[in-house]
Amino acid sequence: MKNGLTVIAMLGLAAFVGCAEESSSTTAAPAKTSTAPSVDGSKFIITEEPEGAKDVIAVREAAKDGDDVVLVGRIGGSENPWIEGQAAFTVVDNSLQACNAIEGDTCKKPWDYCCETSKLPGATALVKVVDENGDSVKADARDLLHVTELSRIIVKGKAVRDDAGNLTVLATGIYVKK
């Protein structure tokens, strides 16, 4: 009988410990998964600063559908400038001020340019990194290109216009300014 009670007590203790481990694992921070891109981003990185880069506003005004363009700007324009599942993001003209450049501003997401909302529609472009076939690269741009919000970049690619006049640059190369 004593052995039977010991076995029951041990099983109860094992069940309790198992539940405690399970419940503590649900409140613990999730394990970080690898964010390494499945695509080699080095083929999209330009190591020498391209000449002739024009600001976003100038390219928006001059570029026609299919033109080769070299555009310079900063990643941002919204709270989340990244396109999920693609190496794509929005860039903002250098003439606009990010909120962190304004003395005393305490904006937690200065890359959204919330202080410049009236100017944003004419000062942004969408950048999509494309492969040699012209297809969007299916990787997170932050990992692929080693960029963050407010990174200054120069983009080489082709201009694509929609019916509303919005500009998308199908990027074949990105230079990240230091």
CA distance 114 to 95: 14
E strand or H helix that includes residue 176: strand 167-176
> Are 112 and 75 within 8 A, CB to CB?
no
pLDDT in tens, the chain (178 residues): 444 433 333 334 333 333 333 333 333 333 334 444 467 889 999 999 999 999 999 999 999 999 999 999 999 999 999 999 999 999 999 999 887 887 877 778 889 888 788 889 999 999 999 999 999 999 999 999 999 999 999 999 999 999 998 999 999 999 999 8
